[in-house]
Amino acid sequence: MARKKALITGIRGQDGAYLAGFLLERGYEVIGADRRSGDSTSWRLKEMGVEGRIKHIYMDLLEYTNVMDVIKEIRPDELYNLAAQSFVKTSFDQPFLTAQVDALGVLTILDAVRHFSPSTKFYQASSSELFGKVQAAAQDEKTPFHPRSPYAIAKLFGHWTTVNYREAYNLYCCSGILFNHESPFRGLEFVTRKVTNGVARIKHGLQETIALGNLESRRDWGYAKEYVEAMWLMLQQKDPDDYVIATGESRSVREFVQLAFGIAGIEIAWEGTGVKTRGLDRSKKKVRVTVSPEFFRPAEVESLLGNPRKARKKLGWKAKTSFEELVRIMVEADIKRVGAGMLF
């Protein structure tokens, strides 16, 4: 039997690396759609040990003809659209670019699929950011959306376009509404990795403090390595559908920071962080965390908590790694990397 062919956009990103590894293990031929021509190195794909096993193809979501040509040529069995300008804060500075990639990019791919490869099963990387100013204590597939950033608004367009192409053209399209998922492959701009990399640098004497923004915001944080299996499971069902993927547990940024420092065995004092410092022995504890206005957003998503019941029931998927384990995995990986001289 011929190997199944999967095309992954955003192959160099966190999820792209894990998904590539997951699909290769299952015997897929993996083609990485890559916006950069020429140099095909990537630290994530290298660390995963999959770099040489992926065929790279040049495809930028902003190039309509380029996308059409690639889909016409590859005609993949499964297409995972993970490419995005994925950082919420940047989307406030670059709303047009974000809309072009995260909204129109999805439309471009889906239109190419409709015309040139209608049997392709399509996965869209939607986000819990769609819920934004949340309308229910725990958010599921029926919770109304209230996006709070240009990123979330663009992703909302991508989500509804995916639903519409399923309903209008009978394509196999799924939208995975994934809550935050982290790992040692997470980009350094995101708060979790910023903290674990900072903790590792402090541990090795390369840095004194970490400057952060809103410590009170809460996220439903899961382990990215497990979340890519949910993407794949969505495309193995009889009928296409949309699913919330989450742990069902919500923690604050402050909790993440406390755990990360604790795991590294570093005592912390907080400055300007709203934590009472009265009685703190400053001679023993160094200020390790400061709060800077630079890292606040014009509109914040204060709290997210997913209800993954549908995924559990229909896909048989459940998050396995606890919050504490996740923080440990990330802190230990970064301490090891920094110790080995791998500096970001």
Interface with ligand NAP (CB under 6 A)? 9-10, 12-16, 35-36, 60-62, 82-86, 101, 125, 127, 178, 180-181, 187
Among 54, 163, 253, 264, binds ligand GDP (CB under 6 A): 253
The correct pick among 74, 88, 245, 331 for binding ligand GDP (CB under 6 A) is 88
The DSSP call for residue 49 is T
Say which entry of ligand GDP, ligand NAP, none residue 36 contacts (CB below 5 to 8 A, set by partner kind): ligand NAP
Q: Does 297 bind ligand GDP (CB under 6 A)?
A: yes
The Cα-based distances of 114 to 72, 99, 165, 240 in angstroms read: 11, 21, 8, 15
Q: State which residue, 29 or 129, has the beta carbon closest to ligand NAP.
A: 129
- What is the C-alpha separation between 98 and 88, in angstroms, rounded? 9
CA distances from 212 to 35, 75, 215, 294, 335 (A): 31, 44, 7, 8, 20
Selection from ligand GDP, ligand NAP, none that 332 binds (CB < 5 to 8 A by kind) is none
In sequence order, what are the beta bridge partners of 270?
Answer: 289
The one of ligand GDP, ligand NAP, none whose footprint includes residue 62, by CB under 5 to 8 A per kind, is: ligand NAP
Q: How far is the CB of 321 from ligand GDP (least distance, A)?
A: 17
Nearer to ligand GDP, 10 or 240 (CB): 10
What are the start-end ranges of the E strands in 165-253?
A: 173-178, 181-182, 210-212, 218-219, 222-223, 243-245, 251-252
Determine contact, residues 36/60, Cβ cutoff 8 Å. no
Instruction: Supply φ then ψ for residue 193, to 5 degrees.
Output: -70, -35
295 binds ligand GDP (CB under 6 A): yes
The verdict on 14 binding ligand GDP (CB under 6 A) reads no
* Per-residue DSSP letter, 52: G
Q: For residue 36, give the amino acid letter.
A: R
Q: What is the CA radius of gyration of the chain?
A: 20
CB of 256 to ligand NAP, least distance (A): 14
Phi/psi zone of residue 309: left (φ > 0), alpha (ψ -120 to 50 degrees), beta? alpha
Question: What is the separation of C-alpha 1 from the centre of its chain, rounded to a whole number of angstroms?
Answer: 33
Smallest gap from residue 145 Cβ to ligand GDP (A): 15
- Pick the closer one to ligand NAP by CB: 36 or 133: 36
Tell whether residue 273 is a contact of ligand GDP (CB under 6 A). no
Closer residue to ligand GDP, CB minimum distance, 217 or 237:
217
Identify what 143 binds: ligand NAP, ligand GDP, none; CB under 5 to 8 Å per kind.
none
Contact status: 217 vs ligand GDP (CB under 6 A): yes
Q: Could you say which of ligand NAP, ligand GDP, none residue 194 binds, taking C-beta under 5 to 8 angstroms by partner kind?
A: ligand GDP
**String of contacts with ligand GDP for each residue 187-216, x by CB under 6 A:** --xxxx-x-----------------xxx--
Task: Convert 259-301 into a string of H (helix), E (strand) and C (coil).
Answer: HHHHHHCCCCEEECCCCCCCCCCCCCCCEEEEECHHHCCCCCC
Given ligand NAP, ligand GDP, none, residue 217, with its beta carbon under 5 to 8 Å by kind, binds: ligand GDP
DSSP element (H, E) containing 79: strand 78-81
- Applying CB under 6 A, the residues found at the interface with ligand GDP are 88-89, 180, 189-192, 194, 212-214, 217, 219, 253, 295, 297, 300-301
